[in-house]
């Protein structure tokens, strides 16, 4: 699928070029000032500016991450009430139920809050809803369980901000609720004892993009702060917070970047038994990064909730014995293997359905339905279909007499809003701009597919249906050196709104050593004619078909990232190529 190259424009300054041809990121306004103040190359100043960093102090904060940068948790609306109620429950020895969603964000949040308060109470349990019997969020079954077992307080994590009727039901049974959520609130806030969600309109908390586990962390941070407990006690859980940040694809900016940085530090230096056991399965020899967590650790934790039960993930994450953790990890890894098989089979079937449909090419959305797909993998399959067709996508299946599904979106299109416009055909729905879940009656499936296509077709632009590669800056090969790479490493951890810097370079050639390696990977040695002695090794995965261009000495433009490559103890700079185009004359 051909991708559009989109060069990011510098914020609030004029560089002399806008997403196009003239290259001068060292010129103009704040970028030049920052370059002088920091003593860095213009490209670095440009990259900082793209991330909203325009002054020396902002750059200092960005590069010198410190836990003292974390905002005061009591700035969050409802925090005083939440801590007071928890203190009361502990003082009266009341039973407390820690409730959380079954995905990685929810299970890590439960693990953090449960493990922390377990030190102060023996009347503590955790509860993860069954994905298939109870569905997403706070369930009536969980409230009935709490009532039957005399729980007086429920702390709900990564859910609850729209559970108005469930909270009213709990109140009727004299059960107090503390909601710790990070999703967008509805028109009415639930009548809980305390609601912690920085996305509430009147919440003064300065950082709005915490994960659900991040909100749970602020809760235990506040408890430590008020009760004069060494803050290191709560910092010990940042490995789980970092895992949630990676898995939930929240922005890695501001507070999240600080939490992720120090969480990764724990994971790499002194991981808890569960993470150590999971890393053992990954057999990764290089440093663990956000990418490692997204593609290696998170799917294994997630598999428990997708295929079996999310409580298995919590059981592992709170485990303090290394041998027990290894055994629990083996079971979860088997579940993950099963998940991958289901994922592959369902994706294959869905692609076959779409290839047979004559309407696929004309539609602006993709919706597929089968009554025998596993509910636990429909979200993953939706993402796979976008890789093929690049349209807002919903995958539906039938479970327990209801049709449920997951939606995923293309960049820049609000799929949640489109689903909301179809709400009259739905039983329930929830999510955010790029991912959502929904439930509907079987007889409404066809009307929903038609209505969803109508909404998408009338609101999406042709440009939004073209996949894009966002490029930070042009970079010639002669500008690449050890100092540049060393500074770029300090931009980590990377993720949404702070992605690994991506560059493009024009008119490159291979020295003649280019070849296809592995299954279909391209290994090159590149140079530009203006500086033929400056050469860099390059890898382009799954792009072996491009070898002919380089063999014919066709000048090529490349989009790439910079990476350090270690071989036999020697470290060299390597280009990881994401895309190619024939250079314009």
Instruction: Give the pLDDT confidence of 29-49 residue by residue, as tens digits.
Output: 567 788 888 888 889 999 999
The predicted-structure confidence for 448-458, as pLDDT tens digits, reads as follows 999 999 999 99
Structure tokens that stand for 373 in this block: 């797909």
Q: For residue 11, is pLDDT > 60?
A: no
Is the model's pLDDT at 447 over the cut of 70? yes
Q: What is the pLDDT of residue 14?
A: 31
Place of tokens 């203006």: 530
Tell me: the pLDDT tens digits for 491-503?
999 999 999 999 9
> How many domains does the chain fold into?
3
Residue 16: which pLDDT band, with cuts at 50, 70 and 90? very low
Pairing label, strands 521-528, 95-100? unpaired
**Domain span holding position 390:** 357-465
- What is the Cα–Cα distance from 379 to 131, expressed in whole angstroms? 13
Residue 508: CATH number of its domain? 2.40.50.140
Residue 61 lies in a domain: no
In this structure, are 123 and 225 located in the same domain? Answer: yes
- In a domain? residue 509: yes
Could you report how far apart the first and last alpha carbons of the chain are, in Å?
A: 24
Measured distance CA(159)–CA(177) in Å, rounded: 12
Q: Is the pLDDT of residue 320 over 70?
A: yes
Which burial class, exposed, middle or buried, applies to 118 when counting CB atoms under 10 A from its CB (0-12, 13-18, 19+)?
middle
Per-residue pLDDT, 446 = 96
Q: What is the mean pLDDT of residues 337-354?
A: 89
CATH of the domain at 242: 3.90.1640.30
One domain for residues 95 and 199: yes
More reliable by pLDDT, 107 or 375: 107
Instruction: Name 238's Cβ contacts closer than 8 Å, sequence gap at least 6.
Output: 217, 259, 262, 263, 266
DSSP state of 376: G
What sections of 121-204 are H helices per DSSP?
140-148, 164-172
- How much of the chain exceeds pLDDT 70, in percent? 95
Q: How confident is the model at residue 12 (pLDDT cuts 50, 70, 90)?
A: very low
pLDDT confidence band for 131 (50 / 70 / 90): confident
Do residue 212 and residue 312 come from a single domain?
Answer: yes
- What are the C-alpha distances in Å from 516 to residues 507, 522, 526, 544, 574? 21, 5, 15, 5, 17
Categorize the per-residue pLDDT at 19 as very low, low, confident or very high, splitting at 50, 70 and 90: very low
How far apart CA 340 and CA 334 sit, in angstroms, is 10
Average pLDDT in the chain: 91
Q: Indicate whether 372 and 299 sit together in one domain.
A: no
- Buried b / exposed e over 328-366, threshold 16 CB at 10 Å, is bbeebbebbebbeebbeebbeebbeebeeeeeeeebbbb
Residue 435 inside a domain? The answer is yes
Does 63 reside within a domain?
no
Please tell me the predicted confidence (pLDDT) of residue 209: 95
pLDDT reported for residue 30: 67
Q: Please report where in the chains the tokens 């410190």 appear, as a residue.
A: 66
Q: Assess contact for 34 and 26: CB atoms under 8 A.
A: no
pLDDT at 125: 97
Give the mean model confidence (pLDDT) for residues 391-397: 97
Same domain membership, residue 564 and residue 507 = yes
Q: What is the pLDDT of residues 81-98, one digit of tens each?
A: 999 999 999 999 999 999
Tell me: pLDDT of 369 over 70.
yes
Query: Is pLDDT of 308 > 70?
Result: no
CATH of the domain at 410: 3.10.310.30
Q: Nearest-5° angle of CA 159, CA 316, CA 148?
A: 55
Q: Same domain for 292 and 250?
A: yes
**6 inside domain:** no
Q: Can you tell me the distance from the alpha carbon of 553 to that of 341, in angstroms, rounded to the nearest whole number?
A: 43
Co-location of 300 and 414 in the same domain: no
Q: Residue 585: what pLDDT?
A: 64
Closest CA to 249 of 345, 383, 90: 383
What per-residue confidence (pLDDT) applies to 25? 42
Q: Taking phi first (over 0 means left), then psi (-120 to 50 degrees means alpha), and beta for anything else, what does residue 507 get?
A: left
Instruction: Using the CB atoms, write b or e for 250-278: b if 16+ within 10 Å.
Output: bbbbbbbbbbbbbbbebbeeebbbbbebb
Neighbours of 554 (CB within 10 A): 14
Do 326 and 446 belong together in one domain? Answer: no
Which range, of 397-401, 467-471, 477-481, averages the lowest pLDDT?
Answer: 397-401
Mean pLDDT value of segment 417-439: 89
């Amino acid at each position: 699928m051909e991708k559009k190259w989109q060069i990011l424009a510098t914020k609030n300054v004029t560089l002399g070029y806008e997403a196009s041809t003239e290259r001068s990121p060292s010129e103009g306004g704040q970028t030049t000032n920052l370059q002088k103040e920091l003593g860095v190359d213009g490209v670095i100043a440009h990259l900082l500016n793209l991330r909203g960093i325009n002054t020396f102090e902002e750059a200092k904060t960005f590069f010198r991450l410190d836990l003292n940068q974390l905002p005061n948790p009591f700035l969050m609306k409802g925090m005083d009430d939440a801590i007071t109620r928890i203190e009361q429950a502990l003082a009266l020895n009341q039973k407390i139920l820690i409730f959380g969603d079954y995905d990685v964000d929810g299970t890590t949040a439960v693990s953090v809050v449960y493990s922390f308060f377990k030190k102060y109470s023996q009347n503590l349990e955790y509860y993860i809803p069954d994905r298939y019997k109870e569905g997403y969020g706070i369930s009536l079954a969980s409230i009935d369980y709490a009532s039957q077992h005399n729980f007086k307080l429920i702390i709900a994590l990564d859910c609850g901000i729209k559970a108005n009727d469930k909270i009213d039901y709990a109140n009727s049974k004299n059960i107090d609720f503390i909601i710790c959520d990070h999703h967008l609130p509805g028109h009415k806030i639930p009548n809980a004892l305390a609601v912690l969600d920085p996305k509430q309109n009147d919440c003064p908390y300065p950082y709005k993009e915490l994960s659900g586990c991040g909100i749970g962390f602020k809760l235990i941070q506040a408890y430590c702060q008020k009760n004069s407990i060494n803050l290191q006690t709560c910092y010990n859980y940042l490995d789980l917070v970092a895992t949630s940040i990676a898995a939930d694809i929240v922005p890695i900016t501001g507070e999240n970047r600080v939490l992720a940085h120090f969480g990764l530090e724990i994971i790499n230096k002194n991981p808890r038994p569960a993470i150590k056991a999971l890393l053992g399965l990954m057999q990764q020899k290089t440093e663990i990064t956000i990418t490692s967590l997204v593609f290696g650790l998170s799917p294994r934790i997630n598999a428990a909730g997708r295929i079996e039960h999310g409580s298995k993930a919590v059981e592992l994450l709170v485990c303090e014995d290394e041998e027990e953790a290894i055994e629990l990890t083996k079971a979860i890894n088997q579940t993950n293997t099963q998940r991958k098989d289901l994922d592959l089979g369902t994706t294959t079937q869905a692609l076959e359905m779409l290839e047979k449909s004559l309407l696929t090419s004309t539609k602006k959305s993709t919706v597929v339905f089968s009554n025998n797909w596993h509910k636990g993998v429909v979200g993953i399959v939706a993402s796979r279909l976008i890789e093929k067709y690049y349209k807002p996508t919903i995958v539906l299946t039938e479970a327990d007499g209801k049709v449920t599904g997951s939606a995923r979106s293309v960049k820049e299109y609000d799929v949640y809003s489109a689903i909301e416009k179809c709400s009259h055909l739905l039983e329930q729905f929830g999510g955010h701009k790029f991912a959502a879940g929904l439930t509907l009656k079987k007889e409404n499936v066809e009307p929903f597919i038609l209505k969803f296509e109508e909404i998408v077709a009338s609101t999406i632009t042709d440009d939004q249906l073209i996949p894009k590669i966002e490029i930070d800056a042009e970079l010639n090969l002669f500008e690449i050196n050890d100092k540049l790479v060393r500074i770029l490493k300090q931009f980590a951890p990377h993720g949404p709104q702070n992605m690994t810097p991506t560059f493009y370079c024009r008119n490159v050639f291979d020295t003649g050593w280019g070849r296809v390696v592995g299954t279909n990977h391209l290994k090159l040695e590149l140079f530009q004619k203006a500086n033929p002695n400056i050469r860099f090794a390059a890898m382009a995965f799954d792009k072996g078909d491009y070898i002919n261009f380089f063999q014919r000495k066709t000048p090529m433009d490349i989009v790439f990232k910079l990476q350090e490559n270690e071989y036999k103890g020697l470290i060299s700079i390597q280009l990881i190529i994401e895309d190619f185009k024939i250079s314009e004359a």
